[in-house]
C-alpha cells in the first residue's frame, strides 16, 4: 500500500466507512493521514478521585463498590449508576440509557474512567466517561487524538484506522526547498504526520502542528500572491493618465474631502496610472465617504474615454447608487444607466444597446450586469460595493467583460487587517479612517426586557418629533425552538400600540419587489417605524432615521450590530442605538459592553474576531477563499507573518511558480485553490 492508494485498501474500511470518509473529503491514504486531530486527550497519568480537578478531563482508576438502577430495571432508558472507590474518595459514574452496560461492570473489579468530574449535590459524579477494565488490551496510557467525526464513525474507528496506516507516513517526502525548511526550523513531513496523530509528549505535538500549519498557510499565501502579482506581471491594464483633471467634480462638492479620502484617492490615482491593473479594496466605516472616492475614479475613467460598472448586492442599494451618481455626474456630461431585474424587457434592451454602443458612461446594477448578454464598448473600471456579499468569481465575471479593467472594491463592513490580508489577498487595501467633520457619534445604550415599554415610548417620542426609527429582530416569525421576539410579533404589537404612526415590516422571505416597496416607503418618509430582520444591514440610507432598536441583541455578532447601528446617525440630528438583551451570557455581555463603549468599526471587528473567529464571521466559500484544514487565522497570526515573507520571496523569484524547485508547491497551490478563483496554473 502507498499514500496514493484509495482508503478502500485499508483493512477495516469497508464500503460503508469508505462512503462516510469520502463525504468527509477523504479519498486516499494520504488524505486520511492529513485528517488531523482537533484536540488531544492526556491519559498518561492516573489521578486520585479526591485530587482530580472539577470540569476537566481526567483519568481515574477505581474499584466498583456497587451498581444500581433507579426505576424499572427492564426499561432500556433507566440510568445505570455505579459507585467507584479508589481509597481517596468515592465517585458516582452515571450512564443514561445504560442498561446494556450493566453486565460489563462487576462489583469488586477495577476499571479506568476518562471524563469530567462534576459536583452534584455534594457528590462527585462522572457522566458517560470512556472506560476500560484495568489491564485490558485497550486500557492504554498516552496522548490520544480526538478527530472531527460524522455520523456512522467513532473515535475508536478513527484511531484504529490511523494507527494501521501510520507506518506509511515514512513515505512522505520533503517537498519544500531545503533553504525554506532549514531557515523556518521545520521538521520533516514524515515526522510531522507521525507525531501529529500519536505524539508521546507536548513537544512533538508543537513541532508537528507547526510544520503542518506553516505549509498550509504557505500554500494559501503563495497562491494569493500569485494571483496578485504573478498575473499582473504579464498583463497590462488600462492606463488612466494622472494629469487628467478632476477639478470639475471636486469644485461641485458641497464639502471638502477628508484627509482619509485624499490619501486613498492618491493611492487610487497611482493605481489607475500604472500599467499594472488596479486591484484595490477601500474599507471605511459607514459615512466615511467611500462613494466620493468611487465617483472621482468613475469621472476620471470617463474623461479618459472608458466606461465604468458598479455592482451592488441589492436592488435598493443599486438604485440608491444610481440616484446619487445621476445627481453628481450627469451635470458634468456623463450618462448613467441602471440595470436590474425589475426592468421591463423593452427598458432592459434599450439599456443594453446604449451600453454596447458606448452611449452609457456608467452602468449600475445588481448581479444582472454579469449576465452573458451584457456587453460594453470599452469597460475601464469595475466597482463592487459591499464585496463580502459577492464571491471572487462574480467579481471576475464582471472584470472579464473588459480588457483588463481597473478594479475597485468597497466595503463598509470593517474587516480586521489580519483577516483582510487573507480574504482579500489578491487586493491592495486602503482604509478611510476619518469621518466628515460635524458628524455626531451614535449614542448606544443597553437595556433588558423590563425596560422595553420605556424604550418604545422613547421611539414614539422621536417619531412624533419628526424622526424615524428602525426596530430589528433576529427572527421573521415566532419559533417554538428559539426563545426570541420575531419581526412579525413586534410589527403587530407596535401597530396596535401606536395607531397614530405608520409602521412597516420587511424581511428576507418577502418578494424583492415587496421589500423594495416597503423600504422605499421608509426612505421617502411615508413610514415612521420600520420593523425588520437583518435585510436592512446594508442597502438603505435614510438621514432622518435617528433610532435603532435591536431586539435580542445577544443573537447578533459584534460586526453585525455595528453595521445595524450604522443605519442611523447619517443626518445632523443626534441618533441612538438601543440594545435590548433577552438572555444574558458571558459572550453577549462582552459584546454589549464593547458596543456601548466604542464606535470604531475596526476596533469592534478585531474584538468580534477574537470572540467568534473568522469562520463564523465570513463564510469562506462565498469569498473564494480555500478552506483551511489545520490553520487558524487568529491563533496562527505570528506564523502567518513569517509565511508571508517566505511566500513573497518565492513569488519575487518565481512569479509563475514554474521553477523545478517549486514543482510540488505549484501542484499543492493548484489543488488548494482548484477552480474557485480560476487559478490558471
pLDDT at 143 over 60: yes
Residue 32 inside a domain? The answer is no
Residue 14 inside a domain? The answer is no
Give the residue, 671 or 461, on which the prediction is more confident: 461
Specify the pLDDT at position 296. Answer: 96
pLDDT at 528 over 80: yes
Q: Does one domain contain both 486 and 410?
A: no
Place 458 in a pLDDT band, splitting at 50, 70 and 90: very high
Specify the pLDDT at position 678. Answer: 45
Q: Quote the percentage of the chain above a pLDDT of 90.
A: 47
Lowest-confidence region among 454-458, 513-517, 538-542: 538-542
Instruction: Give per-residue pLDDT as tens, 290-310.
Output: 889 999 999 999 999 999 999
pLDDT at 596 over 50: yes
Specify the pLDDT at position 540. Answer: 67
Instruction: Report the chain's mean pLDDT, rounded to a whole number.
Output: 85
Q: Does one domain contain both 492 and 563?
A: yes
10 Å CB burial of residue 592 (0-12, 13-18, 19+) is buried
pLDDT at 422 over 80: no
pLDDT at 599 over 90: no
Place 537 in a pLDDT band, splitting at 50, 70 and 90: low
Instruction: Give per-residue pLDDT as tens, 227-272.
Output: 766 555 545 778 898 889 999 998 888 888 999 999 999 999 999 9
Measured CA to CA, the distance from residue 674 to residue 662 in angstroms comes to: 18
Determine the average pLDDT of the residues in 421-440: 74
Measured CA to CA, the distance from residue 2 to residue 135 in angstroms comes to: 35
pLDDT at 8 over 70: yes
Residue 511 inside a domain? The answer is yes
pLDDT at 139 over 90: no
Specify the pLDDT at position 435. Answer: 77
Q: How far is CA 337 from CA 262, 298, 316, 665, in A?
A: 28, 13, 15, 46
Determine the average pLDDT of the residues in 471-500: 83
Residue 311 inside a domain? The answer is yes
The CATH number covering residue 590 comes to 3.40.50.300
Measured CA to CA, the distance from residue 125 to residue 119 in angstroms comes to: 6
Q: Does one domain contain both 269 and 200?
A: no
Q: Three cell numbers at 82?
A: 455505579
Q: Does one domain contain both 210 and 305?
A: no
Domain boundary among 397, 432, 467: 432
Residue 26 inside a domain? The answer is no
pLDDT at 623 over 50: no
Closest CA to 382 of 306, 284, 290: 306
Instruction: Give per-residue pLDDT as tens, 612-622.
Output: 554 444 433 33
pLDDT at 337 over 90: yes
Determine the average pLDDT of the residues in 432-460: 88
Specify the pLDDT at position 615. Answer: 46
Q: Does one domain contain both 416 and 479?
A: no
Domain count, the chain: 4
**Predicted TM-score (pTM) above 0.75:** no
Instruction: Give per-residue pLDDT as tens, 343-398.
Output: 899 999 999 999 999 999 999 998 888 888 999 999 999 998 865 455 555 666 77
Q: Does one domain contain both 336 and 365?
A: yes
Q: Which residues form the domain of 543?
A: 443-598
Closest CA to 115 of 164, 56, 187: 56
pLDDT at 680 over 50: no
Lowest-confidence region among 135-139, 239-243, 274-278, 543-547: 135-139
Determine the average pLDDT of the residues in 442-452: 91
Specify whether the CB–CB gap between 474 and 533 falls below 8 A.
yes
Per DSSP, the three-state class of 192 is helix
Residue 621 inside a domain? The answer is no
Residue 341's φ and ψ, nearest 5 degrees, are -65, -25
Q: Does one domain contain both 532 and 577?
A: yes
Domain boundary among 432, 458, 484: 432
Q: How far is CA 542 from the centre of its chain?
A: 28
Specify the pLDDT at position 619. Answer: 39
Q: What is the DSSP letter of 621?
A: H
Give the residue, 588 or 3, on which the prediction is more confident: 3
Q: Does one domain contain both 450 and 402?
A: no
| Four-residue CA torsion sign, 534, 535, 541, 543 | negative
pLDDT at 641 over 60: yes
**Sequence-separated (6 or more) residues with CB below 8 Å from residue 675:** none
Residue 618 inside a domain? The answer is no
Specify whether the CB–CB gap between 550 and 543 falls below 8 A.
no
pLDDT at 174 over 90: yes
Lowest-confidence region among 46-50, 572-576, 581-585: 581-585
Q: Does one domain contain both 407 and 458?
A: no
Determine the average pLDDT of the residues in 474-501: 82
pLDDT at 589 over 90: no
| Four-residue CA torsion sign, 325, 326, 332, 337 | positive
Q: Does one domain contain both 208 and 294?
A: no
Q: Does one domain contain both 423 and 366?
A: yes
Q: What is the DSSP letter of 486?
A: B
Q: Does one domain contain both 457 and 560?
A: yes
Per DSSP, the three-state class of 115 is strand
Residue 677 inside a domain? The answer is no
Amino acid at each position: 500500500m502507498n499514500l496514493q492508494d484509495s482508503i478502500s485498501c485499508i483493512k477495516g474500511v469497508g464500503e460503508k466507512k469508505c462512503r462516510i470518509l469520502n463525504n468527509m473529503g477523504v479519498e486516499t491514504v494520504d488524505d486520511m493521514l492529513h485528517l488531523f486531530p482537533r484536540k488531544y486527550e492526556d491519559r498518561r497519568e492516573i489521578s486520585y478521585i479526591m485530587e482530580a480537578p472539577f470540569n476537566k478531563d481526567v483519568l481515574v482508576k477505581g474499584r466498583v463498590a456497587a451498581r444500581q438502577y433507579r426505576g424499572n430495571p427492564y426499561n432500556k432508558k433507566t440510568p445505570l449508576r455505579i459507585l467507584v472507590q479508589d481509597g481517596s474518595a468515592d465517585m458516582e459514574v452515571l450512564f443514561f440509557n445504560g442498561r446494556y452496560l450493566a453486565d460489563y461492570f462487576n462489583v469488586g473489579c477495577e476499571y479506568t474512567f476518562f471524563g469530567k468530574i462534576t459536583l452534584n449535590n455534594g457528590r462527585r459524579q462522572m457522566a458517560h466517561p470512556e472506560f476500560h477494565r484495568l489491564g485490558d488490551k485497550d486500557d492504554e496510557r498516552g496522548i490520544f487524538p480526538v478527530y472531527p467525526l460524522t455520523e456512522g464513525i467513532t473515535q475508536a474507528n478513527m484511531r484504529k484506522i490511523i494507527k494501521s496506516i501510520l507506518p506509511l507516513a515514512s513515505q512522505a517526502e520533503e517537498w519544500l526547498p531545503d533553504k525554506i525548511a532549514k531557515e523556518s526550523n521545520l521538521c520533516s513531513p514524515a515526522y510531522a504526520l507521525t507525531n501529529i496523530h500519536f505524539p508521546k509528549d507536548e513537544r512533538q505535538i508543537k513541532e508537528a502542528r507547526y510544520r503542518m500549519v506553516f505549509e498550509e498557510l504557505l500554500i494559501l499565501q503563495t497562491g494569493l500572491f500569485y494571483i496578485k502579482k504573478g498575473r499582473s506581471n504579464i498583463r497590462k491594464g488600462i492606463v488612466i493618465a494622472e494629469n487628467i483633471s478632476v477639478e470639475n467634480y471636486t469644485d461641485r462638492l458641497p464639502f471638502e474631502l477628508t484627509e482619509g479620502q485624499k490619501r486613498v484617492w492618491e493611492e487610487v490615482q497611482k493605481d489607475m496610472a500604472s500599467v499594472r491593473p488596479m486591484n484595490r479594496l477601500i474599507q471605511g466605516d459607514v459615512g466615511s465617504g467611500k462613494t466620493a472616492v468611487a465617483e472621482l475614479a468613475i469621472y476620471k475613467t470617463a474623461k479618459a474615454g472608458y466606461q465604468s460598472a458598479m455592482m451592488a448586492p441589492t436592488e435598493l442599494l443599486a438604485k440608491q447608487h444610481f440616484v446619487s451618481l445621476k445627481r453628481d455626474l450627469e451635470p458634468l456630461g456623463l450618462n448613467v444607466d441602471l440595470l436590474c431585474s425589475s426592468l421591463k424587457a423593452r427598458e432592459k434592451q434599450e439599456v443594453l444597446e446604449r451600453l454596447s454602443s458606448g452611449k452609457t458612461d456608467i452602468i449600475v446594477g445588481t448581479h444582472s450586469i454579469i449576465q452573458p448578454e451584457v456587453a460594453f464598448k470599452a469597460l475601464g473600471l469595475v466597482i463592487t460595493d459591499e464585496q463580502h456579499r459577492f464571491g471572487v468569481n462574480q467579481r471576475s465575471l464582471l472584470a472579464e467583460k473588459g480588457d483588463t479593467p481597473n478594479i475597485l472594491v468597497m466595503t463598509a463592513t470593517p474587516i480586521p487587517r489580519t483577516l483582510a490580508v487573507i480574504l482579500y489577498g489578491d487586493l491592495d487595501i486602503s482604509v478611510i479612517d476619518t469621518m466628515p467633520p460635524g458628524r455626531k457619534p451614535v449614542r448606544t445604550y443597553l437595556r433588558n426586557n423590563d425596560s422595553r415599554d420605556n424604550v418604545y415610548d422613547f421611539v414614539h417620542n422621536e417619531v412624533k418629533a419628526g424622526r424615524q426609527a428602525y426596530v430589528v429582530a433576529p427572527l421573521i416569525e415566532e419559533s417554538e425552538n428559539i426563545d426570541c421576539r420575531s419581526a412579525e410579533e413586534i410589527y403587530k404589537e407596535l401597530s396596535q400600540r401606536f395607531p397614530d404612526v405608520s409602521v412597516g415590516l420587511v424581511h428576507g422571505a418577502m418578494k424583492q419587489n415587496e421589500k423594495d416597496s416597503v423600504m422605499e416607503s421608509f426612505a421617502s418618509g411615508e413610514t415612521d417605524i420600520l420593523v425588520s430582520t437583518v435585510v436592512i444591514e446594508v442597502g438603505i440610507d435614510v438621514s432622518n432615521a435617528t433610532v435603532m432598536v435591536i431586539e435580542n441583541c445577544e443573537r447578533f455578532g459584534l460586526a453585525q450590530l455595528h453595521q445595524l447601528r450604522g443605519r442611523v446617525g447619517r443626518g445632523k440630528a443626534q441618533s441612538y442605538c438601543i440594545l435590548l438583551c433577552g438572555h444574558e451570557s458571558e459572550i453577549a455581555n462582552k459584546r454589549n459592553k464593547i458596543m456601548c463603549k466604542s464606535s470604531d468599526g475596526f476596533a469592534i471587528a478585531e474584538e468580534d474576531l477574537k470572540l467568534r473567529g473568522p469562520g463564523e464571521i465570513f463564510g469562506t466559500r462565498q469569498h473564494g477563499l480555500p478552506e483551511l484544514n489545520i490553520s487558524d487565522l487568529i491563533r496562527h497570526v505570528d506564523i502567518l507573518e513569517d509565511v508571508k515573507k517566505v511566500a513573497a520571496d518565492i513569488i519575487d523569484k518565481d512569479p509563475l511558480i514554474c521553477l523545478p524547485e517549486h514543482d510540488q508547491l505549484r501542484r499543492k497551490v493548484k489543488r488548494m485553490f482548484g477552480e474557485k478563483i480560476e487559478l490558471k496554473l
